[in-house]
A and B are shown apart, each in its own frame.
Chain A
């Protein structure tokens, strides 16, 4: 017995929306999914007319759906945005090669200019997986001169992050992880999350029904044990109560901290000038490690890294002195 679309359009329902429990046909689902993202964008004033917005493109389902929907809404509702795709090539063999092909497909499908920035352009190093991609995105966006970066974080991602930050007691991240807009201080480019309230299931169904091409092999470096546990837990909860994802995001948004809770200061790195809570920033420490031939720098404890640097400086000084002695002859 086929179930009929709840909006009484007369079509057969194709899916059950996890957010509302409604059975909708494909067309009514597309309309609802797109309208909700438009509502998120307009009610939070995410963009201003004339802005240049970089869509952080990985070739995965979220960024592919984000690029598709932003282009569509920009035209439908006349946002007046200049959209570009920004992709970071870390040079991870296999993974990036295929995902970059998908990003190029996005460029052709959505007729958006694409800038692929390699780690070599950004840091002078071809090494992959050393530096966080978020940092590379900021640097890339600065090079492109964009007003904001739109990322594909979906509702499931944000609910997972709330859970993880609660479990870790990370008050600083808990404060900002539900924000639809982050950054945007004097030295950072604002990040926005237009898919913040879009369920992963709906994103995947949207991509499937719209036949969007996306790349879906697990990044070989991605398996993050901690996030994996939070994710599995959340999926189990969702099975029992689908609204749990929205509920967790809402709880995260409503959290307030007493003034007595210590706030970590967010400063800027004294070396490169980018935002960092550490001195120097992680990227600079890792790069220094590579330049010094001490690749473990910045991976272990800070004190251990300092000892490694001190030891190397001592050795260099000794060698310098040896050279001086030799030159005296």
Chain B
């Protein structure tokens, strides 16, 4: 038996992808030995894939206001926001609203 893995999908849209190497969809394999909350995930993203101007994505320990977070197409505000614990095959989508319209 190998080490346990936690596979999730990250998606970025409406301009949020520009801060992450312009990649709209990523499949991640995280270390399944630890518990992954959105809070931990944001730290991981900051350390590993947030390539451009982190202040446009993060503010203090959370997502900058104006960026919407959907977990499996549900508003993260209904799911505990930073405390939500990621489950295998979860889809986490970040949508920027910080642009003209």
User: Given A16-B78, A216-B13, are A204 and B97 also a contact pair (CB < 8 Å)?
Assistant: yes
- Give the residues from 1 to 46 in chain A that come closer than 8 angstroms, CB to CB, to chain B: 3, 12-16, 23
Q: Does B14 lie within 8 Å of A61, measured CB to CB? A: yes
Shortest distance from the beta carbon of A232 to any chain B beta carbon, whole Å? 8
A189 close to chain B: CB less than 8 A? no
The listed residue (B13, B66, B99) touching A235 by CB distance below 8 A is B66
Q: Which residues of A have CB within 8 Å of B95?
A: 204, 208
- Give the residues from 65 to 96 in chain B that come closer than 8 angstroms, CB to CB, to chain A: 65-66, 68, 70, 73-75, 77-78, 95-96
Shortest distance from the beta carbon of B98 to any chain A beta carbon, whole Å? 8
The listed residue (B65, B70, B77, B99) touching A60 by CB distance below 8 A is B99
User: Given A201-B68, A204-B95, A239-B65, are A60 and B101 also a contact pair (CB < 8 Å)?
Assistant: yes
The listed residue (B13, B64, B97) touching A201 by CB distance below 8 A is B97
The listed residue (A3, A152, A154, A216) touching B14 by CB distance below 8 A is A216
Q: Which residues of A have CB within 8 Å of B15?
A: 216-218
Q: Which residue of A lies closest to B15 (CB)?
A: A216
- Give the residues from 51 to 68 in chain A that come closer than 8 angstroms, CB to CB, to chain B: 58, 60-64
Shortest distance from the beta carbon of A198 to any chain B beta carbon, whole Å? 11
The listed residue (B18, B65, B73, B77) touching A217 by CB distance below 8 A is B18
A177 to B101, CA, bound (A): 18
Q: Does B78 lie within 8 Å of A3, measured CB to CB? A: yes
Q: Does B78 lie within 8 Å of A205, measured CB to CB? A: no
B2 close to chain A: CB less than 8 A? no
Q: Which residues of A have CB within 8 Å of B98?
A: 231
Q: Does B100 lie within 8 Å of A12, measured CB to CB? A: no
Residues of B in contact (CB 8 Å), total 21
A61 to B13, CA, bound (A): 12
Q: Which residue of A lies closest to B16 (CB)?
A: A216
A236 close to chain B: CB less than 8 A? yes
B-contact 0/1 string along A70-87, CB 8 Å cutoff: 000000000000000000
Shortest distance from the beta carbon of B22 to any chain A beta carbon, whole Å? 10
Shortest distance from the beta carbon of B79 to any chain A beta carbon, whole Å? 8
Shortest distance from the beta carbon of B33 to any chain A beta carbon, whole Å? 25
- B residues neighboring A (CB under 8 Å): 13-15, 18, 64-66, 68, 70, 73-75, 77-78, 95-101
Known: A16-B75, A216-B14, A235-B65. 13 other contacts (CB 8 A): A15-B75, A15-B78, A16-B77, A58-B101, A60-B100, A61-B101, A154-B101, A205-B68, A208-B70, A218-B99, A219-B100, A231-B66, A238-B65
A selection of 21 A-B contacts at a CB cut-off of 8 Å is A13-B74, A14-B73, A15-B77, A15-B78, A58-B100, A60-B99, A62-B101, A154-B101, A200-B97, A204-B14, A204-B95, A205-B68, A208-B13, A217-B15, A217-B99, A222-B99, A222-B100, A232-B66, A235-B64, A235-B65, A236-B65
